[in-house]
Amino acid sequence: MSDLTHEVFNQAEPLVDYNLFEGNHALRDALKLNAPQLDTAALVSLGAKLGSQEMQTHARLANVHTPQLRSHDRVGRRADVVEFHPSYHALMSAATEQGLHGTPWTNKIASPHVLRAASFMLFTELEPSILCPISMTYAVTPALRRNEAVYADWGPGLASRVYDPALRLWRDKAGLTMGMGMTEKQGGSDVRANTTDAAPDGQDNWGQRYLVTGHKWFLSAPMCDAFLILARTPAGMSCLFLPRVLPDGSVNAMRIQRLKDKLGNKANASSEVEFQQATAWLVGEEGRGVPQILEMGTMTRLDCSLGTSGLMRQALSIALHHTAQREAFGKRLIDQPLMRNVLADLALESEAATALALRVARAFDKSADAHEAVMARILTPIAKFWICKRGSHFGQEAMECLGGNGYVEENGEGIMARIYREMPVNSIWEGAGNIIALDLLRALRKADGGAALAHELAPARGAHPALDKLVGDLPARVEQMATEMEARRLCQDVALALQASLLLQTAPSAVFAAFCDSRLAGNWGYTFGTLGGGTDFGAIIDRAMPR
């Protein structure tokens, strides 16, 4: 009889060996709007791979066995290397093989940024933190082209779909990655306050050379092959290319002081480094480093939006999968009225995030179009601010759907704890909320900003009274925004209007109506799970179920 106490029952089976793409109707329908000619065969294949138990195991191990700094070798010589678990390298290989670091710069298909965006979202569902060096490699490529000699040597390796983690000369490697180093002890977002110094050191085949002395408070992925950094040259703050291994084969004087012990993002190594007359080369115009860095920030901010959207989708999928199996009080959790309200509300938020994030990617693909170029400047801060702000609240509510199981650090459903820890990263990195809201304000104040926004929202007129009111009020609010005090509120409301407009074009009527009734018309509370009783819960939940 005592053996009965060891029987485990009423526990959900893990969500494993399923296709992340095929069951994601929100993503698939957003792709039809933003890239109707896109061949999705690669996404189907990727979705199957990333949903496999093998890849989920790699994701778990890469986070359990975190990066380790080896500052010196066994006899006391400086080494400055970071050691990773083999699962980290397996994940990096998979991301590189998919082209998440370089597809838009080498692929001649019609919508390379959208294809990459969808792939990036799917990969984030598996493991987001290893995507940091992938994202930075993607973002630095356009800027690096401003040094034609460096790009001629490094461009092919940066676009390679082979992952090569070895620390050696660029020409001897099958693939290359790049990072960025901007933040210093005293500055944070105010990079103009940086003190790292770069003294001219002559010229060579890569152009103007400098010796860099200083410290970076945050340099992510220190085992990348090279970095774009900000340093103060005689002409002012400039953008410099700093490789780990110099052309003569020697290791550059970049000392890794320590790895950051972060709340989440555990599989990725973030570090403090010191440059002790490290060698670097000028990229772009001397003294114009800050504008160049802001251009790169636009790309990494897109990835923040994509990453949070992917995390939302994975958290929602796990919550739906769990509640469809777990029983309480005589019925499955998913059949309990209040749980249905929560799940449907989460599904609305996840689909709206997906729709907005992919719309940003479409603007990147069509940058030659005047309207799309303006929308890229407007949409990027909107999506980064709003989607990332919603992430932590979303993760907490999805975790609560699992109860105590969601809070436990374990494989399977324990992924939820990892997702929750990861959520704040995208909101903080690449500009926290205030910085992003002010960027939107600057974009809207430009002569074409308000007009472009009005043009974007025009097709949604007449679809819902609350949306009509919000859209009708926005031009005057943009025009009258004379101070910064309400910039966050404006960013929120523009985001909601855009999400509603996009859902009108991509989602079933039940999703669009519930989103507008709750987010715009006020038939909603202050937490998830407060949708009105007339909501079509069944249609929304069924659409969101992972299959």
CATH code, domain with 202: 2.40.110.20
What mean pLDDT is reported for the chain? 93
pLDDT at 348 over 70: yes
Local confidence band at 494 (pLDDT 50, 70, 90 cut-offs): very high
C-alpha dist (Å) from residue 75 to 72, 151, 245, 314: 8, 37, 22, 46
Residue 289 has pLDDT above 60, yes or no: yes
* 3: confidence class by pLDDT, cuts 50, 70, 90: low
Q: By mean pLDDT, which of 55-64, 131-140, 221-230, 447-456 is the weakest?
A: 447-456
Q: Is residue 166 part of a domain?
A: no
| 18 is a domain residue | no
Express each pLDDT in 352-401 by its tens digit.
Answer: 999 999 999 999 999 889 999 999 999 999 999 999 999 999 999 999 99
Mean pLDDT of 287-305: 88
Supply the pLDDT for residue 242.
Answer: 98
Element (H, E) at 281: strand 270-282
Residue 167 resides in a domain: no
Distance from C-alpha of 279 to C-alpha of 207, rounded to nearest angstrom: 12
- Asked whether residue 48 falls in the same domain as residue 151, the answer is yes
CA–CA distance, 33 with 20 (Å, rounded to integer): 20
User: What CA–CA distances, in Å, run from 10 to 322, 343, 491?
Assistant: 10, 20, 44
Clarify whether residues 227 and 329 are in a common domain: no
Whether 300 contacts 135, CB under 8 Å:
yes
Are 444 and 487 found together in one domain?
yes
Q: Are residues 155 and 239 in the same domain?
A: no
Residue 171 lies in a domain: no
Q: Is 11 within the bounds of a domain?
A: no
Residues 409-460 pLDDT 10s: 875 556 899 999 999 999 988 888 888 988 888 888 776 788 889 999 998 9
Token pair 């994601």 is found at 24
Residues facing 229 on adjacent strands: 181, 240
Q: What is the mean pLDDT of residues 234-255?
A: 96
Element (H, E) at 104: helix 103-106
Distance CA 380, CA 37 (A): 24
SS3 of the chain: helix, strand, coil, percent, to 5: 55, 15, 30
Query: What is the per-residue pLDDT for 413?
Result: 53
Domain boundary pick from 287, 322, 351: 287
What's the rounded mean pLDDT across residues 29-49?
97
Residue whose C-alpha is closest to residue 89's, from 67, 71, 121, 73: 67
pLDDT at residue 445, rounded to an integer: 79
Q: Would 14 be classed as within a structural domain?
A: no
What lies within 8 Å, CB to CB, of 428 at 6+ separation is: none
pLDDT-derived band at 296 (thresholds 50, 70, 90) equals: confident
Three-state DSSP at 46 gives helix
Q: What is the pLDDT of residues 462-493, one digit of tens each?
A: 999 999 999 998 888 887 766 788 889 999 99
Question: Residue 139 corresponds to which tokens in the numbers above?
Answer: 């973002």
Tell me how long the chain is.
Answer: 547
Burial of 315 (0-12, 13-18, 19+ CB in 10 A): buried
Half-sphere exposure of 78 toward its Cβ, with a 13 Å CA cutoff? 11
Q: Are residues 193 and 106 in the same domain?
A: no
Domain end marker among 244, 259, 287: 287
Q: Once rounded to an integer, what is the mean pLDDT over residues 302-322?
A: 97
Same domain, 280 and 295: no
Number of separate domains in the chain: 3
CB atoms within 10 A of CB 278: 27
Q: Give yes or no: residues 115 and 212 share one domain.
A: no
Concatenate the DSSP letters of all residues of 176-199 into one string.
--EEEE---TTTTT-GGG---EEE
Instruction: Provide the domain limits for residue 472.
Output: 291-544
What pLDDT score does 190 carry?
Answer: 74
Q: Are residues 346 and 306 in the same domain?
A: yes
Report yes or no on whether pTM surpasses 0.85: yes
At 411 the pLDDT is 54
Residues 57 and 114 occupy one common structural domain: yes
Cα 323 to Cα 143: distance, rounded to the nearest angstrom:
47
Query: 281: which strand partners?
Result: 209, 241
For residue 77, the number of C-alpha atoms closer than 13 Å in the C-beta half-sphere is 4
State the pLDDT confidence band at 166, using cuts at 50, 70 and 90. very high
d(CA 80, CA 68): 11
As given in the structure block, the two tokens for residue 160 are 């390679």
Mean per-residue pLDDT for 223-227?
97
What per-residue confidence (pLDDT) applies to 536?
98
Based on the fold, state whether residues 318 and 406 are members of the same structural domain. Answer: yes
| Of 105, 124, 159, the domain-final residue | 159
For range 92-116, the mean pLDDT? 92
pLDDT, tens digit (0-9, with 9 covering 90-100), for 267-280: 999 999 999 999 99
236 with 322, same domain: the answer is: no
CA dist., res. 454 & res. 458, Å (int):
6
Which CATH number belongs to the domain containing residue 432 in this structure?
1.20.140.10
Whether residue 511 is predicted with pLDDT greater than 80 in this model: the reply is: yes
- Provide the 3-class DSSP secondary structure of residue 232: strand
Residue 8 within a domain: no
- What pLDDT shows up at residue 65? 95
| Residue 219, token pair as written in the block | 């340099």
User: Do both 106 and 187 map to the same domain?
Assistant: no
Q: How far apart are CA 55 and CA 257, in angstroms?
A: 32
Write b or e for each residue in 460-495: b if 16 or more Cβ atoms lie within 10 A of its Cβ, otherwise e.
Answer: beebbebbeebbeebeebbeebeeeebbbebbbbbb
Helix (DSSP H) and strand (DSSP E) numbers for the chain: 19, 11
Q: Is residue 93 part of a domain?
A: yes
| Pairwise pLDDT comparison (194 vs 345), residue with the higher score | 345
